[in-house]
Amino acid sequence: MLTYPAFAAAALAEIAGCFAFWAWLRLDRSPWWLVPGMASLALFASLLTVVESGAAGRTYAAYGGIYVVAAILWLWGFEGHRPDRWDIAGGLVCVLGSALILFGPRGA
């Protein structure tokens, strides 16, 4: 099953791409940061297409939970801010929600 690896790779690509814009606008980095940032955002969008789902909206909704956890890990690993118990609890709730969306029984 490629769902969670695709979601994890998409989250990393999305956060890296968005961070490139953050770095340019908020951290006064060179506009050249936008080139890999835009490539990273394109990779993010393409990675979501490999997830097996009958509906794009369901894929995006389920991905949201994984994105939240990835953002918390980015906060810790790249920005040096240790997540607190509320970050961790919120991330767990999001992952559980993601699992419900992806694996919940569907009516006919």
Q: What is the pLDDT of residues 4-27, one digit of tens each?
A: 899 999 999 999 999 999 999 999
pLDDT, position 102: 83
Residue the block writes with tokens 């789902």: 53
Render the burial of 16-49: b for 16+ CB within 10 Å, e for the rest. bbbbbeeebeeeeeeeebbeebeebbebbeebbe
Structure tokens at 57: 């909206």
Whole-model pTM? 0.80
Phi, psi of 30 (to 5 degrees): -65, 145
Q: How crowded is the C-beta side of 86, counted as CA atoms within 13 Å? A: 0
- Taking only Cα atoms into account, the Rg of the chain, rounded to an integer number of angstroms, comes to 15
Q: What's the rounded Cα separation, in Å, for the pair 90 and 7?
A: 18
Residues of the chain with pLDDT under 70: 1, 108
